[in-house]
A and B are shown apart, each in its own frame.
Chain A
Amino acid sequence: MRTDAILRIEQVSRIFPAVSGRQPVRALEPTDLTIARNDFITILGPSGCGKSTLLRIVAGLDTPTSGRVVLDNRAVTGPGPDRGMVFQSYTLFPWLNVADNIAFGLRERGVSETIIHETVAEYVAKVGLRGFENHLPKQLSGGMQQRTAIARALANNPEILLLDEPFGALDNQTRGLMQELLLGIWERERKTVIFVTHDIEEAIFMASRVIVMTARPGRIKADIAVDLPHPRHYTVKTSPEFSTLKARLTEEIRAEAVLAAEAH
């Protein structure tokens, strides 16, 4: 499985320099991680452990203090359309409607309008937003906005999809539906996905592999394969295998949460 690696994170660390006499922040200890093509990786860790930092470095939006990220044998030097990103906050372009948001990356690359039209229709259908093509972001619920953001990233056909707690602000029911939607798309299209979350159930349900990070400074503490069969239905969450995994991860993460709480 490791032979077909698409992404290698090599000794990547991040120290935010000291501001006005305060201590520099060690957000991420030197970290190694290799991600196989078409794998669904979830990164699980307590708040402030450097999950967003790691993902932003992979996206090229932040530069590591040491180490490097290699995608398809090319070192990452900046952001690019080969790494699609869905952010923790809502980042749809507020002046564009749903269709134009999804088309944004395609237009930037000068794809012909006929193809844009087809691709937009395809992804609008995939994320279940038919009939909302002409809505502005402010007319959408949070869940619909994140679905649009996922469609916008996918329509660009990235090598790898990076998601930073995309469902963090949603209520439990919507969150569950969104998990199934995203997992369904992955099961059909087999994209490489890195999905950051602090929700244990979400991490297990989505992943083929869960990476657990320690409290600050962030480090990889555990790397756990999830062998639950696909296609996964939400009922898997009540299966004994799921519960075993959940108990194990809860134990791992609890220790870190306690540490994080003491540090603050």
Chain B
Amino acid sequence: MALLRPLEPVSQRTRILLGVAFFVIFFAAWAAATLGGYVSKTFLADPITMVKDGWILLTKFGFAHDIGMTVWRVLGGFVLAAVIGVPIGILMGAYKPIEAFLEPFVSFARYLPASAFVPLLILWAGIGETQKLLVIFIGSFFQIILMVAVSVSNTRRDLVEAAYTLGSTSIGVVRRVLIPATAPDIAETLRLVLGWAWTYVIVAELIGSSSGIGHMIIESQALMATGQIIFGIIVIGVIGLVSDLLFKFVNRQFFAWRLA
């Protein structure tokens, strides 16, 4: 029996086991490279130093507060972008004149790099929280609009036609067909964009910030504390992983009809 067959599903147990195995290998390789003396400590801290540095950061330097600030900025900017962007995306996908009106600009705006806006936003909004939220907002907003619009446009036409023959009005079709049919895709879009929002927040915090994970990372660079930098990066990764799992879990609860 072949072990690898295309699209053959694996059991939940094997899935978790394999997923964890990669992390184990990853850390083992890292430990071997650093503790074995193959890489200079100046450039890459070993896992043990990283954990120690992290502990000191958390207990002595109030790193928990930095983490909290970063999480709040990501969520603030992201939620704002989602609350405004999702309805616009739905309207754009549903109504072709609105799409014709907005699509060219949104496609253009989507390619504007959010990080390049940081200096400009500092001029406009200072280095306070507004600026951080705006960076994340700009980075997420246009992506959300376009991706939601595409999902809504791709709704099965036969379902829309069925609704019309059952007496739906235009608004009824949007509310009772387009939105429920694309809700899982919209949730998936939000999951992806939230991941990107994490990149923007760190960039925003690297420049002109007095708190946050990005701020800690840039300060640690001056001190050559690679252990702290890596700890910061890993914290971001872990938060990302947890929020991803949470999103997936919620999607599975809400959108069971989509699962095969």
Q: Which A positions have Cβ atoms within 8 angstroms of B?
A: 59-61, 78-81, 83-85, 87, 89, 91, 93-96, 104-105, 107-109, 136-138, 152-153, 156, 162
A109 touches B180 (CB 8 A): no
Instruction: Report B140-178 residues with CB < 8 Å from chain A CB.
Output: 156, 158-159, 161-169, 172, 176-177
- Residue from B164, B180, B255 whose CB has the most chain A CB atoms within 10 Å: B164
Known: A108-B172, A138-B257. A93 touches B177 (CB 8 A): yes
A188 to chain B, nearest CB (A): 22
Q: B92 at interface (Cβ–Cβ under 8 A)? A: no
Instruction: Report B164-217 residues with CB < 8 Å from chain A CB.
Output: 164-169, 172, 176-177, 180-181, 183
Q: How far is the CA of A59 from the CA of B256 in the complex (A)?
A: 32
B162 touches A87 (CB 8 A): yes
B165 touches A83 (CB 8 A): yes
Closest-by-CB residue of B relative to A80 is B167
Closest-by-CB residue of B relative to A81 is B167
Q: How far is the CA of A79 from the CA of B256 in the complex (A)?
A: 31
A61 touches B165 (CB 8 A): yes
A151 to chain B, nearest CB (A): 12
B180 touches A89 (CB 8 A): no
How big is the B interface, by class? 20 to 34
Given A93-B162, A93-B177, A153-B165, 4 additional A-B pairs, CB 8 A: A80-B167, A89-B158, A91-B159, A95-B180
A residues less than 8 Å from B167 (CB atoms)? 80-81, 105, 108-109, 156
Q: How far is the CA of A93 from the CA of B164 in the complex (A)?
A: 13
| A interface majority secondary structure | loop
A136 touches B257 (CB 8 A): yes
What are 19 A-B contacts defined by CB distance under 8 Å? Answer: A60-B165, A61-B164, A80-B164, A81-B166, A81-B167, A85-B162, A87-B158, A89-B158, A91-B159, A93-B159, A93-B163, A93-B180, A94-B181, A95-B255, A108-B163, A108-B167, A108-B168, A109-B167, A138-B260
Closest-by-CB residue of B relative to A59 is B165
A84 touches B257 (CB 8 A): no
Instruction: Report B222-260 residues with CB < 8 Å from chain A CB.
Output: 255-258, 260
A residues less than 8 Å from B172 (CB atoms)? 108
B residues less than 8 Å from A59 (CB atoms)? 165
B residues less than 8 Å from A108 (CB atoms)? 163, 166-169, 172, 176
B residues less than 8 Å from A96 (CB atoms)? 180
Closest-by-CB residue of A relative to B165 is A85
B residues less than 8 Å from A83 (CB atoms)? 165
A residues less than 8 Å from B260 (CB atoms)? 138
B84 to chain A, nearest CB (A): 25
Q: How far is the CA of A108 from the CA of B166 in the complex (A)?
A: 8
Return the 3 tightest CB-CB contacts between A and B, nearest first: A81-B167, A105-B166, A79-B164
- Residue from A83, A105, A156 whose CB has the most chain B CB atoms within 10 Å: A105
